[in-house]
Structure 1
């Protein structure tokens, strides 16, 4: 289940985002400071082109889904990303089921609630497990590009999913 993030969730979100597992697969790999996070939260909570949602598993918060660059007039498009409480879910042996569920919930939200025609995202080339999962959900990879982020060279692969290609349960 997804719900809107509140100010009470901000510290939890930061702690998950700074987990080593999440930093390894993110464009921004440094540990995010509370000040950086506060600036980000201040900007996104009032931005009409963004949505930040909390993923709940059996009523327990355990992930964050972000939608951004939302264009809701003309062709309805947007981008997305997510991260989970990797340490907590691994400790409970729930990583894979939570991962599948958050991806399903995010795709459903994008097409059913936001009524997008196309959902875009990015994945780092070395993140082969996520790339495989994205293909399972019928995302199509675009042309890889090289970027410098946090002083390291990374290969970023754009992904997209059109409404008509979405996997239905």
Structure 2
């Protein structure tokens, strides 16, 4: 289940985003400071081109889903990403079910709530497990590109999923 993020979720989001597992698979890999996170939250919470949602798994808040660059006129598109409470879910043995659940919930939200025509995203090229999961959900990969973030060079794979290719349960 997804719900709107609130001010009460800000510290939890930051703690999860700074978990080593999440930093290793993110373009921005440094530990994000409270000030950086507060500035991000202030910017996105009132921006109509963003949606920040909390993922609830087995009754516990367990992750964050972000939609950005929402374009709802003409072809309806957005970019998305997510991260989970990797440490907490691993400790409960719930990583895979939560991962599948957040992806289903995000895709459903994108096409059923936002009524998108296409959902875009990015994944680091070395993140083969996520790339496999994306293919399972019928995301199509584009051409790998090189990006520089905070002096770190990374290979980034663009992904997209159209309404027509969406996997239905």
- The two structures have a TM-score, normalised by structure 2, of 0.99
Distance 1:36 1:98 in 2: 27
Q: Quick one: distance in 2 between partners of 1:63 and 1:111?
A: 20
Provide the rounded CA distance (Å) in 2 between the counterparts of 1:88 and 1:111. 29
Distance in 2 between residues matched to 1:147 and 1:5, nearest whole Å:
29
Measured after TM superposition, the shift of residue 22 of structure 1 is 0.2
Give matches, 1:36-115, under 5 Å.
36-115=36-115
Q: Determine the C-alpha separation between the residues in 2 that align with 1:43 and 1:68.
A: 12
Partner residue, 2:26? 26
Cα distance in structure 1, aligned partners of 2:68 and 2:23:
19
Runs of 4+ in 1 over 2 A off after TM superposition: none
Structure 1: unaligned runs, 5 residues or longer: none
Cα distance in 1 between the residues matched to 2:143 and 2:58? 38
Q: Which residue of the partner structure matches residue 153 of structure 1? A: 153
Deviations along 1:75-106, one digit per CA (max 9) or x if unpaired, are 00000000000000000000000000000000
Local SS of the residue matching 1:79:
strand
Output the CA distance in 2 between the equivalents of 1:149 and 1:76. Answer: 28
Give distance in 2, aligned partners of 1:99 and 1:30.
23
Q: How many residues align?
A: 169
Identify the residue that residue 166 of structure 1 maps to in structure 2.
166
**How far apart are residue 153 of structure 1 and its match?**
1.1
Alpha-carbon shift at residue 43 of structure 1 (Å): 0.4
